[in-house]
């Protein structure tokens, strides 16, 4: 049977009343846990695993998958409205999204993120349907040297988030790298910079830093600096929907974000954060008016939001075709399969095509549901911004502390959050951008780990990075990203000075 | 193990009296289980399957799982010790890997701090190569390893874990200094599997359950198992002339500072689970052997393991700088 | 104002420099080599520490020679620190950390809400407390009853369902 026939059979499974209901429950729950900072899809699915004893396999798996990609829809909401990312993959969204909200454009920001998520989710599902074998093959080509090269590419895009001053941006980046060092070194099991504090052995959670720098730092800054100034949050002006111009500016970033996010989701250690950085960097490079970035450019919301959604669907590729989990949530989905005695992999496609294709078909259905569910919510969400400033910021902090405390149920993290908030306040006060800290914190440990793994494999020979064609080409891309703009400025046609 | 200060003893007696009145109510409303590994690995599966059986057996109504991976479980243990102290509804997965990891990290938290509940399973290790590897069999592998130890990269779980120990034991067996093993640790199951299938490391070492499906599907080729006898069609190390045997046991612990009665209640709940048919089914499905040992006997076993693994690790000069 | 040295900037730059030194000192105990990789756990910390020291020094130079570039320090000076507001917000978060497991999530969150609102000069104590309690109760209900994740009930344990 060809793919089309299989898919048609899959839809027959996904469109039964019962499975439609499970998909709806899943995506609704997913949206909810995405909105709440501190509760992720992995935890939620894990909590719901016991229902596998009562619900049939396709129903439960359709619901679990719905939670997974549904969370990516919800995560952007608090990023945009409150500058408090609900998931680590929506930190980048906060950069432009919250600026848009401050300029009265929360509606279009939320809309482009919902529609972008839909576009990305749907295209990624098409990719899952037709390209799976190809993508898996590519994913397996990635070993430690390739990952390291990929991290270096990601590092070179950092310049786009550095802000007005390269010096202060770099200081932020290195602060993030320093924070990333804290905790047990994975290659030797040695504790670094934990000063005997057991809570620090785990390393510091990205969410704590992000919420501290963004939400807490911002609140302290506004309370102690801007109170006297009668500057209030911009009322929502104009239509809450996207205008023609917003559509025109969004559709390309949606597509580019999808193309970046999908393959990233399908490789282990790819994650959903890095494609959002890359997408943001690319949108900024390609923007007609890069100056608008940092002040609410819709492209900077559309791209990353598409990227994180595509990556969550991308994670289904190795999971379904190889039984290989590439993220925490995927790992729990895998154990959900195993609850039913099913082992994802090529054999499952043959042994139980109705289930696999029913699940894939449910992704199409679920994404439509999410769009229908989330678009009307936009109107409701933007009303949040009409709340007076004291109560709005008080509410933000209640959510922020809950999210950080709730992750590990540790008061230590609350005090850490306050300390990070003070740092965020100082950075804000002296014009240091916060995003590079997050970038450094995520990329630093990954890059170090992969570099040391690669070097162990090559017995200390750094040529391993150049001998592998894929890693060498990635490094060439990195060099190009750094060198070409400089050459272009020197020898290229004159452009408006930045 | 629970420290017995006079005050604790008093409390324990009072509680025992209370329990006696309440009769044999061992059903827990809600239990939190710390799984000190990333989702998808051996402890994760064991913990979740045990949880399922506990629910099925009616010993527990609801279980929450808490995954905290890294450093052979030391991170999860530290978290468990600090956050769950005295909590009679808290459980933690553990096993041989954790014992080794703690020794190696010179961890401030030790396995003595938690309360032994029961030893559950044993599992054997398997040594695999990518399906297209030029390495033909175990003899071939060890010959190449002997000729140039660094050229063989061993991919497995965290440094100092069972996988690492097995590689070290094999090195010792063929007369190579164990410290010369080029070991590449990965976090959790998925990452190592991808590195092996993709051919990025020469050899993979892990628990049989973690690789079984990939051996079945032909993406990996199994060279040997670490049991005394062959498992399925995979010959043991011993059968191939390498005198190495290693069982990776897994067990479950309670929070530090819980009373004897609370410990007994947990043992009872876990025992009920292991007697439930769903647990037997799990063991069969996952190729684990039952390795039951409850309460303080288990505690004594853990102590003995602590000593034995400590000696192995020191002999391997793992973790020494 | 021209000769006024930006004390805050100087202190912050020195702080970054000091952080770099701290990282370097910590890295000194970590082996730089070893293993087949030849790159031990101490290498990256040394790079990061050196980077922070260098960046701190460069920022210090900027601060001493007319202040950070691209920051409108004068505009900042027109906005004096409101230490009262700062104290309310800080106190609210720190109190939350102390109280969340002792008094419980509901009480800690309500106090935090009232304190932050006061930091933004709202003195409607009662209505703020009620709104804060409502927000906290909503979160509490979602977590403890719908998701099955336990937020601490604290002193209200036994009173809450």
Specify the CATH number for the domain of residue B50: 3.40.190.150
Q: Is C93–A401 a contact, with Cβ atoms under 8 angstroms apart?
A: yes
**Which residue in A has a C-alpha nearest to residue C94's C-alpha?**
A415
Neighbours of A194 (CB within 10 A): 18
Query: Within this chain, do residues C26 and C60 fall inside the same structural domain, yes or no?
Result: yes
With beta carbons under 8 A apart, name residues in chain C contacting B182.
Answer: 36
Could you tell me if C108 and C141 lie in one domain? Answer: yes
Residues C63 and C102 in one domain: no
Could you give the count of Cα atoms lying within 13 Å of C94 in the half-sphere of its Cβ?
A: 9
Are C109 and A220 within 8 A, CB to CB?
A: no
State the smallest CA–CA distance between residue C30 and chain B in angstroms. 10
> Which residues on neighbouring strands pair with residue B95, listed in sequence order?
B250
Residues of B in contact with C36 (CB under 8 A): 150, 182
Same domain for C64 and C93? no
Q: Do B159 and A202 touch (CB under 8 A)?
A: no
Residues of A in contact with B159 (CB under 8 A): 186-189
Tell me which residue has tokens 């479980």. B73
Q: Tell me which of B17 and A492 has the higher pLDDT.
A: A492
Last residue of a domain, one of B220, B240, B260: B240
pLDDT of residue B13: 40
A49, A332 in Cβ contact below 8 A?
yes
| Per-residue pLDDT tens over the stretch C25-84 | 999 988 887 778 888 889 999 999 999 999 999 999 998 887 888 776 656 666 778 899
Q: Do A224 and C93 touch (CB under 8 A)?
A: no
Enumerate the residues of chain B whose CB falls inside 8 A of the CB of residue C31: 321
Domain presence at residue A93: yes
DSSP A17: H
**Which residue in C has a C-alpha nearest to residue B29's C-alpha?**
C148
Least CB-CB distance to A459: which of B150, B189, B199?
B150
Q: Is residue A251 part of a domain?
A: yes
Kindly determine whether residue B214 and residue A323, on different chains, have CB atoms separated by under 8 Å. yes
Final residue before a domain boundary, out of C77, C109, C139: C77
pLDDT value of residue A493: 60
What chains are in contact with C, requiring at least 3 Cβ pairs below 8 Å? Answer: A, B
Separation CA A98–CA A217 (nearest Å): 14
Q: Are residues C19 and C48 both part of a single domain?
A: yes
Average confidence (pLDDT) over A447-453: 91
The CATH number covering residue B230 comes to 3.40.190.10
CA-angle at B87, arms to A189 and B302, nearest 5°: 50
Looking at C40, C60, C77, the residue that finishes a domain is C77
Instruction: Indicate if the pLDDT at residue A418 is higher than 90.
Output: yes
Mean pLDDT of chain A: 84
**Which one has a higher pLDDT value, B321 or B255?**
B255
Give a yes or no: residue B305 inside a domain.
Answer: no
Distance from CA of C51 to the nearest CA of A (A): 7
What's the whole-number mean pLDDT along residues A22-41? 82
Q: Which of A206-210, B134-138, C56-60 has the lowest mean pLDDT?
A: A206-210
Measure C36 CA to nearest chain B CA, in Å. 6
- The pLDDT-based confidence of C2 (bands split at 50, 70, 90) is very low
Q: Nearest CB to A326: which of B70, B185, B190?
A: B190
Each residue's pLDDT tens digit, C5-31: 688 889 999 999 999 999 999 999 888
CB pairs under 8 A between B and C: 11
* Number of compact structural domains in chain B: 2
Pair B204, B260 in one domain: no
Q: Are C53 and C97 in a shared domain?
A: no
CB contact under 8 A, B64 and C31: no
Q: How far is CA A58 from the centre of its chain?
A: 27
Quote the domain boundaries for residue C70.
Answer: 7-77
Q: Is residue B149 assigned to a domain? A: yes
Residue of C nearest to B62 (CA): C148
From chain B, pick out residues whose CB is under 8 angstroms from the CB of C34: 321
Chain C residues closer than 8 Å to A391 by CB: 113, 117, 122, 128, 131
C49–A178 C-beta distance less than 8 A: yes
Residue A318 lies in a domain: yes
Picking from A64, A197, A201 by the largest number of B CB atoms within 10 A of its own CB, the best residue to mutate is A201
Q: Are residues C107 and C63 both part of a single domain?
A: no
- Same-domain status, B138 and B100: no
Task: Count the domains in chain A.
Answer: 1
Tell me the pLDDT band of A153, cut-offs 50, 70 and 90: confident
- Is the CB of A189 less than 8 angstroms away from the CB of B105? yes
Domain shared by B101 and B187, yes or no: no
| Shared domain check, B115 and B28 | yes
Q: Taking residues A216-239, what's their average pLDDT? A: 70
Residues of A in contact with C35 (CB under 8 A): 187-188, 456
Same-domain pairing of B14 and B110: yes
pLDDT at A202 over 80: no
Average pLDDT over residues B71-93: 83
Distance (Å, whole) CA A386 – CA A380: 11
What distance in Å separates residue A342's CA from the closest CA in chain B? 11
- Does B313 map to a domain? no
Distance CA A78, CA A87 (A): 9
Domain boundary among B240, B268, B289: B240
For chain B, what percent of residues have pLDDT higher than 90? 21
Q: For residue B10, what pLDDT band results from cuts at 50, 70 and 90?
A: very low
Is 70 exceeded by the pLDDT of residue B138? yes
Nearest to A452 among C39, C76, C116 (CB): C39
Contact by Cβ (8 Å): A277, A88 = no
For residue A73, the enclosing domain spans 3-491
- Shortest Cα–Cα distance, A101 to chain C (Å): 20
Q: What percent of chain A has pLDDT over 90?
A: 27
Residues B86 and B231 in one domain: no
- Residue B89 in domain: yes
Q: Say yes or no for a CB contact (<8 Å) between B182 and C148.
A: no
| Separation of CA B15 from chain center | 33
Of the listed ranges A60-69, A432-441, A452-461, A486-495, the least confidently predicted one is A486-495
| Closest C-alpha to A315, from A264, A258, A355 | A264
Joined tokens for residue A115:
């529609």
Identify whether residues C105 and C68 lie together within a single domain.
Answer: no
Neighbours of chain A (3+ CB pairs under 8 A): B, C
Of C31, C36, C148, the CB nearest to B62: C148
pLDDT of residue A451: 93
Cβ pair A114, A374 in contact under 8 A: yes
Asked if residue B90 belongs to a domain, the reply is yes
Residue range A370-397: average pLDDT? 84
What is the rounded CA–CA span in Å between residue A453 and residue A289?
Answer: 41
Tokens of A165: 């001053």
- How far is residue B17's CA from residue B3's CA, in Å, rounded to a whole number? 20
B98 and B83 co-located in one domain: yes
B96-105 vs B74-83: helix axis angle to the nearest 10?
Answer: 90
Measured between beta carbons, the chain A residues lying within 8 angstroms of B150 are 459
* Residues of chain C in Cβ contact (below 8 Å) with chain B: 31, 34, 36, 148-150
Q: Which of C9, C85, C109 is facing A227, going by the closest CB pair?
A: C85
- Residue scoring higher pLDDT (B275 or A139): B275
Q: Do C150 and A409 touch (CB under 8 A)?
A: yes
Name the residue facing C12 among A399, A411, A430 (closest C-beta).
A430
In a domain, B307, yes or no: no
- What single string gives the DSSP state of each residue in B266-316? HHHHHHHHHHSHHHHHHHHHHTPEEEEEEHHHHHHHHHHHHHHHHHHHHHH
Structural domain includes residue B69: yes
HEC sequence for B125-159: EEEEEECCCCCCCHHHHHHHHHHCHHHCEEEECCC
The pLDDT, as a whole number, for residue A38 is 61
Specify if C1 maps to a domain.
no
The minimum CA-CA distance between A136 and chain B, rounded to whole Å, is: 10
| Phi, psi (rounded to 5 degrees) for A240 | -80, -10
Cβ-Cβ contacts under 8 Å, B193 against chain A: 324
**A26 pLDDT tier (thresholds 50, 70, 90):** very high
For residue B158, the enclosing domain spans 124-240
Of residues B213 and B51, more confidence is placed in B51
Q: Is residue A413 part of a domain?
A: yes
CB spacing of B30 vs C148 below 8 angstroms: yes
The Cα of B274 is separated from the nearest Cα of chain A by a number of Å equal to: 17
Classify residue A496: in a domain, yes or no.
Answer: no
Q: Do C38 and C95 belong to one domain?
A: no
Q: How far is C140 from chain A (nearest CA, A)?
A: 10
B290 in the same domain as B229: no
- Nearest residue to A265 via CA among A132, A84, A413: A132
Number of C-alpha atoms within 13 angstroms, CB side, residue C68?
Answer: 29
Query: Residues B270-300: pLDDT tens digits?
Result: 998 998 898 888 888 777 888 889 988 999 9
How many separate domains does chain C show?
2
Instruction: Enumerate residues 6+ apart whose C-beta is below 8 A from A219.
Output: A393, A396, A397, A421, C89, C116, C119
Chain A residue with the nearest C-alpha to that of B40: A331
**How does residue A177 score in pLDDT terms, banded at 50, 70 and 90?**
very high
Q: CB–CB of B321 and C149 under 8 A?
A: no
Residue A473 to residues A146, A191, A481, C66, Cα–Cα distance (Å): 9, 34, 12, 44
The Cα B311–Cα C10 span in angstroms is 54
Residue C161, in any domain of the structure? no
Q: Which residue, of C57, C77, C97, is where some domain finishes?
A: C77
Query: Across the interface, do C58 and A167 touch by the CB < 8 Å criterion?
Result: yes
Residue B314 confidence (pLDDT): 75
Asked whether residue B105 falls in the same domain as residue B178, the answer is no
Least confident of A44-48, A159-163, A229-233, C72-76: A229-233
Contact B321 C31 (CB under 8 A): yes
* Per-residue pLDDT at A368: 93
Q: Which of B30, B150, B321 sits opposite C36 (nearest CB)?
A: B150
* H or E, element range at B248: strand B247-254
Residues of chain C found within 8 Å of residue A222, distances taken between Cβ atoms: 120
Provide the percentage of residues in chain C whose pLDDT is more than 90: 50
Model pTM?
A: 0.80
Chain B interface, best mutation among C36, C42, C149, by max B CB count within 10 A = C36
Mutate to test the interface with C, among B83, B201, B321 (most CBs of C within 10 A): B321
pLDDT digit string, tens, across residues B168-202: 889 888 988 887 888 898 876 577 888 898 899 99
Same domain, B84 and B140: no
Out of A204-208, A294-298, B178-182, C113-117, give the one with best mean pLDDT: C113-117
């Amino acid at each position: 049977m060809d793919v089309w026939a299989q898919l048609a059979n899959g839809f027959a499974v996904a469109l039964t009343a019962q499975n439609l209901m499970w998909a709806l429950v899943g995506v609704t729950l997913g949206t909810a846990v995405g909105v709440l900072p501190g509760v992720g899809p992995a935890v939620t699915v894990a909590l719901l695993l016991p229902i596998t004893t009562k619900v049939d396999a396709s129903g439960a798996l359709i619901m679990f998958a719905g939670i997974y990609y549904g969370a990516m829809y919800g995560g952007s909401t608090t990023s945009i409205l409150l500058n408090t990312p609900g998931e680590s993959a929506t930190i980048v969204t906060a950069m432009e999204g919250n600026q848009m909200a401050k300029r009265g454009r929360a509606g279009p920001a939320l809309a482009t993120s919902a529609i972008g998520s839909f576009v990305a989710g749907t295209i990624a599902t098409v990719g899952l349907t037709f390209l799976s074998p190809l993508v898996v093959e590519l994913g397996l080509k990635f070993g430690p040297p390739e990952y390291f090269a990929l991290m270096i590419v990601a590092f070179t895009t950092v310049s786009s988030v550095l802000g007005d001053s390269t010096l202060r941006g770099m200081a932020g980046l290195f602060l993030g790298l320093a924070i990333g060092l804290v905790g047990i070194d994975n290659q030797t099991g040695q504790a670094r910079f934990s000063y005997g504090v057991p809570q620090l052995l785990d390393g510091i959670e990205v969410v704590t830093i992000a919420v501290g720098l963004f939400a807490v730092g911002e609140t302290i800054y506004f309370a102690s600096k801007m109170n006297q100034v009668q500057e209030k949050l911009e009322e929502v002006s104009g239509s809450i929907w996207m205008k023609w111009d917003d559509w025109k500016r969004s559709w390309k970033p949606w597509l580019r974000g999808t193309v970046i996010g999908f393959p990233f989701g399908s490789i282990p250690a790819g994650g959903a954060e890095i494609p959002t950085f890359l997408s943001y960097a690319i949108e900024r490079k390609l923007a007609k008016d890069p100056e608008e970035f940092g002040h609410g450019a819709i492209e900077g919301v559309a791209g990353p939001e598409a990227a994180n959604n595509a990556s969550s669907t991308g994670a289904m590729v190795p999971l379904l075709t190889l039984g290989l989990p590439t993220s925490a949530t995927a790992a729990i989905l895998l154990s959900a399969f195993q609850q039913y005695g099913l082992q994802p992999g090529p054999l499952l496609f043959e042994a139980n095509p109705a289930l696999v294709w029913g699940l894939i078909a449910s992704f199409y259905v679920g994404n439509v549901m999410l769009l229908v569910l989330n678009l009307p919510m936009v109107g409701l969400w933007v009303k949040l911004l009409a709340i007076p400033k004291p109560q709005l910021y008080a509410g933000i902090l209640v959510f922020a502390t809950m999210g950080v405390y709730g992750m590990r149920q540790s008061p230590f993290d609350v005090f850490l959050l306050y300390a990070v908030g003070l740092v965020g306040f100082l950075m804000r006060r002296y014009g240091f951008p916060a995003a590079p800290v997050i970038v450094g914190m995520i990329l630093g440990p990954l890059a170090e780990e992969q570099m040391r793994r690669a070097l162990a494999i090559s017995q200390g020979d750094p040529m391993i990075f150049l001998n592998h064609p894929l890693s060498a080409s990635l490094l060439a891309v990195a060099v190009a990203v750094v060198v070409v703009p400089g050459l272009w400025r020197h020898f290229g046609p004159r452009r408006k000075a930045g | 193990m629970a420290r017995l200060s006079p005050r604790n003893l008093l409390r324990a007696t009072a509680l025992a009296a209370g329990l006696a009145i309440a009769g044999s109510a061992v059903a827990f409303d809600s239990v939190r289980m710390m799984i000190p590994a990333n989702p998808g690995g051996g402890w994760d599966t064991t913990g979740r399957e045990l949880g399922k059986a506990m629910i099925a057996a009616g010993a527990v109504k609801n279980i929450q799982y808490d995954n905290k991976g890294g450093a052979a479980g030391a991170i999860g243990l530290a978290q468990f010790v600090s956050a769950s102290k005295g909590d009679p509804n808290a459980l933690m997965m553990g096993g041989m890997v954790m014992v080794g990891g703690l020794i190696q990290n010179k961890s401030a938290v030790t396995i003595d701090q938690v309360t032994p509940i029961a030893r559950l399973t044993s599992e054997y290790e398997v040594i695999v190569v990518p399906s297209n590897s030029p390495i033909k069999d175990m003899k071939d592998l060890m010959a190449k390893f002997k000729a140039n130890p660094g050229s063989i990269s061993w991919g497995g779980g965290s440094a100092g874990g069972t996988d690492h120990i097995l590689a070290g034991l094999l090195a010792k067996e063929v007369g190579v200094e164990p410290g010369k093993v080029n070991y590449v640790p990965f976090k959790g199951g998925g990452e190592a599997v991808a590195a092996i299938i993709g051919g990025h490391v020469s050899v993979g070492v892990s628990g049989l359950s973690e690789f079984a499906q990939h051996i079945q599907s032909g993406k990996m080729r199994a060279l040997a198992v670490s049991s005394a006898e062959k498992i399925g069609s995979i010959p043991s190390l011993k059968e191939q002339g390498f005198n190495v045997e290693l069982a990776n046991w897994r067990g479950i612990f309670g929070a530090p500072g819980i009373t004897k009665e609370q410990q007994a209640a947990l043992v009872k709940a876990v025992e009920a689970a292991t007697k439930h048919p769903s647990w037997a089914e799990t063991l069969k499905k996952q190729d684990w052997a039952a390795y039951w040992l409850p309460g303080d006997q288990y505690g004594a076993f853990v102590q003995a393991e602590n000593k034995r693994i400590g000696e192995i690790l020191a002999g391997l000069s793992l973790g020494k700088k | 104002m021209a000769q006024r040295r930006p004390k805050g900037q100087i202190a912050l730059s020195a702080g970054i420099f000091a952080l770099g030194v701290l990282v370097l000192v910590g890295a000194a105990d970590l082996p730089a080599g070893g293993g087949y990789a030849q790159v031990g756990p101490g290498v990256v910390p040394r790079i990061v520490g050196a980077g922070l020291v260098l960046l701190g020094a460069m920022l210090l130079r900027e601060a001493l020679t007319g202040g950070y570039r691209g920051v409108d320090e004068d505009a900042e000076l027109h906005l004096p620190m409101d230490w009262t507001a700062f104290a309310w917000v800080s106190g609210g978060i720190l109190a939350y950390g102390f109280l969340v497991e002792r008094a419980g999530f509901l009480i800690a969150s309500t106090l935090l809400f009232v304190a932050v609102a006061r930091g933004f000069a709202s003195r409607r104590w009662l209505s703020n407390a009620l709104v804060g309690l409502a927000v906290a109760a909503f979160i509490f209900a979602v977590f403890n009853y719908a998701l099955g994740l336990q937020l601490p009930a604290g002193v209200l344990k036994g009173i809450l369902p």
